[in-house]
């Protein structure tokens, strides 16, 4: 849409329809675009140009200091529902030194700290910055999906027993501690080796590593850059879920919910009400403390390097500076710890299934489908060079043929796991060539919130939600009833609409929809 003149403000679609609307109150937060419907409103006064049905662009002229355009992937309806923070924050990101091509926001985007959730940005490793605000407090928060050979008919009679066993073996909620006890020296090994440390201890299978982003271990982890505070917060939390939007979910894949049979087969999904298990969690208190520690470091460093940012939560430092490298070393420690956390949880899930079904994890076919980070900064190689890619609430989505993928997925592209609300279900997708060209191999990560936690708690009570979900065939085990209410499905965007946006945009392709039957929440 294009601003056309005064008095009042005219807005003209930058599309074939070439229609325009007139407003007398330009400072109100709306614009209107007739080609997407007569009542489309946006929570910004900035000019937002339509590139195609699923892509919108804010030009660099819209904010002083923007170095590149900001691009938002969204259907018209999703764009209209995005909060003001998305537009402000994605354009703030576009001002950061060394940013390459675009600042991006995915359709599950909403306001975050510094970057919006759903934010993606690539920086020149030589003269660009690194920012904890582009990674998030929960470093390497991510998703993991484990398949089984069990069917719904086999699991349903034992679902209560299974969820109780999972709830017992995978601690969740405030202050929870995991079953793995490590001393500081061992914890440093976890920081360096990530998931491989777990495999060496017997918490997983060698084949698991092939099916984890970066094989569950980021190079460059430097435990010397981690504070004692961070170690003390995280050392007892291996194998814990946490709270907030983190969960462990038992799900069903039915035939009608498989959209790409070839890709599904490559991942071991055959449908026929097959049971899978999804895990969403990250680096817990360890990663949170690393983020807090380095935000303070970067606030001071910015003055030293003469960097100014639009938002204090975008504190950053040149990637090649001592501060930037220290954070990168500490962040990689947290990322590896998150991979280890999800690996230990996987071990516990396998043990729980084996106990309940009186079998072994191998006999139950409990292979890892994939594990992918959605809060991370990594140096990645693309056709046009190496870039430091920040993904915050955004998932890597490498296309077919990528050398970063294991043989089993090289033909179909990287599995992308997108978690929805505990009531509505989740999706499995694959990365595409288009993502490699347009989004630094990135896509959405979940459904994205639309309602505040306080409002959700006022709207629904945890105990009632628990009963309602049971009536709908979803058994929930929760540590906190108020925490459960905060995560009600009504607080989230419609994940199908978000997924259809990235599918329509061609940056990921749908493989299967996964419906919940059991959920564990902190």
445 noted as active-site residue: yes
The DSSP line for 320-354 is TSHHHHHHHHHHHHHHHHHHHHHHHHHHHHHHHHH
Considering only 113, 203, 327, 409, the residue that binds other proteins (CB under 8 A) is: 113
Q: Please state, in angstroms and rounded to a whole number, the distance separating the CA atoms of residues 355 and 344.
A: 17
Residue span binding other proteins (CB under 8 A) among the ranges 73-81, 188-196, 212-220, 450-458: 450-458
Query: Is-contact 102 66, C-beta < 8 A?
Result: no
**Does 295 participate in binding other proteins (rule CB under 8 A)?**
yes
Residue recorded with tokens 């303070």: 296
**Does 242 participate in binding other proteins (rule CB under 8 A)?**
yes
Cis, peptide link before residue 342, omega less than 30° from 0: no
**Does 232 participate in binding other proteins (rule CB under 8 A)?**
yes
| Cβ distance to other proteins smaller for residue 359 or 450 | 450
Q: Please state, in angstroms and rounded to a whole number, the distance separating the CA atoms of residues 385 and 383.
A: 6
Considering only 212, 460, 476, 479, the residue that binds other proteins (CB under 8 A) is: 479
Considering only 43, 148, 176, 343, the residue that binds other proteins (CB under 8 A) is: 176
| Cβ distance to other proteins smaller for residue 437 or 450 | 450
Q: In what order do the strands lie in the sheet with 55-58?
A: 49-52, 55-58, 70-73, 99-110, 117-123, 385-392, 375-382
**Does 449 participate in binding other proteins (rule CB under 8 A)?**
yes
Considering only 26, 125, 173, 400, the residue that binds other proteins (CB under 8 A) is: 173
Query: Is-contact 297 304, C-beta < 8 A?
Result: no
Considering only 53, 127, 161, 177, the residue that binds other proteins (CB under 8 A) is: 177
Q: Which residues of 100-128 are buried (b: 16+ CB within 10 A; e: fewer)?
A: bebbbbbbbbbebbbbbbbbbbbbbbeeb
Considering only 47, 49, 254, 313, the residue that binds other proteins (CB under 8 A) is: 313
**Crossing angle between the packed helical segments 322-356 and 184-193, to the nearest 10 degrees:** 100
For residue 406, give every residue at least 6 positions away whose Cβ sits within 8 Å of its Cβ, in sequence order, or none: 210, 211
Which ranges of 251-283 would DSSP assign to H, the alpha helix? Answer: 261-266
Considering only 66, 74, 117, 317, the residue that binds other proteins (CB under 8 A) is: 117
State in angstroms the smallest separation of the CB of 347 from other proteins. Answer: 22
Residues between 10 and 69 that touch other proteins (CB under 8 A): none
Which entry of 246, 288, 390, 445 is annotated as an active-site residue?
445
**Does 179 participate in binding other proteins (rule CB under 8 A)?**
no
Residues with catalytic roles: 445
* Binding positions for other proteins, rule: CB under 8 A: 83, 110-113, 117, 137-138, 173-177, 229, 232-234, 236-237, 242-245, 284-285, 288-289, 291-292, 295, 311-313, 449-455, 479-480, 482-483, 486, 522
């Amino acid at each position: 849409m294009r601003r056309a003149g005064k008095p009042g403000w005219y807005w003209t679609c930058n599309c074939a329809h070439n229609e325009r609307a007139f407003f007398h109150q330009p400072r109100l937060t709306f614009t209107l675009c007739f080609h997407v419907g007569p009542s489309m409103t946006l929570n910004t006064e900035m000019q937002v140009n339509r590139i195609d049905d699923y892509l919108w662009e804010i030009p660099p002229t819209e904010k002083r200091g923007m170095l590149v355009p900001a691009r938002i992937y969204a259907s018209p309806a999703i764009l209209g529902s995005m909060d003001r923070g998305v537009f402000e924050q994605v354009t703030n990101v576009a001002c950061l030194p060394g940013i390459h091509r675009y600042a991006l926001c995915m359709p599950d985007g909403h306001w975050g700290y510094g970057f919006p959730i759903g934010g993606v940005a690539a920086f020149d490793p030589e003269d660009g910055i690194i920012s904890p605000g582009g990674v998030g407090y929960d470093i390497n928060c991510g998703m993991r999906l484990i398949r089984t050979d069990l069917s719904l008919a086999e699991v349903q009679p034992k679902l209560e027993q299974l969820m109780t066993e999972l709830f017992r073996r995978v601690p969740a909620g405030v202050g929870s501690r995991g079953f793995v006890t490590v001393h500081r020296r061992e914890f440093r090994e976890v920081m360096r080796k990530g998931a491989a440390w777990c495999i060496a201890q017997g918490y997983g299978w060698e084949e698991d590593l092939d099916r984890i982003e970066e094989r569950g271990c980021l190079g460059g982890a430097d435990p010397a850059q981690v504070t004692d505070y961070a170690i003390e917060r995280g050392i007892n939390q291996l194998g814990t879920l946490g709270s907030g939007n983190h969960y462990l979910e038992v799900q069903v894949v039915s035939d009608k919910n498989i959209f790409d049979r070839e890709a599904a087969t490559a991942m071991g999904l055959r449908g026929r009400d097959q049971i899978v298990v999804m895990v969403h969690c990250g680096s817990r208190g360890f990663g949170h403390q690393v983020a807090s520690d380095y935000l303070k470091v970067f606030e001071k460093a910015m003055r030293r390097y003469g960097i100014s940012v639009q938002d204090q939560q975008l504190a950053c430092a040149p990637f090649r500076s001592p501060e930037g490298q220290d954070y990168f070393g500490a962040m990689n420690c947290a990322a590896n710890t998150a991979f280890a956390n999800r690996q230990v949880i996987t071990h516990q899930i396998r043990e729980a299934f084996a106990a309940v079904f009186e079998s072994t994890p191998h006999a139950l076919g409990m292979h890892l489908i994939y594990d992918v980070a959605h809060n991370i900064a990594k140096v990645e190689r693309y056709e046009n060079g190496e870039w430091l890619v920040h993904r915050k609430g955004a998932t890597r989505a490498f296309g077919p043929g990528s050398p970063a993928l294991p043989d089993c997925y090289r033909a179909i592209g990287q599995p992308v796991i997108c978690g929805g609300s505990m009531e509505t279900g989740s999706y499995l997708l694959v990365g595409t060539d288009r993502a490699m060209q347009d989004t630094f191999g990135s896509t959405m990560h979940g459904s994205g919130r639309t309602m505040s936690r306080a409002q959700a708690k006022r709207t629904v009570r945890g105990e009632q939600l628990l009963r309602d979900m049971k009536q709908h065939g979803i058994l929930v085990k929760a540590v906190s009833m108020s925490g459960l209410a905060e995560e009600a499905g009504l607080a989230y965007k419609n994940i199908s609409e978000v997924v259809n946006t990235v599918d329509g945009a061609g940056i990921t392709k749908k493989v299967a929809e996964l419906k919940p039957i059991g959920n564990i929440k902190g």
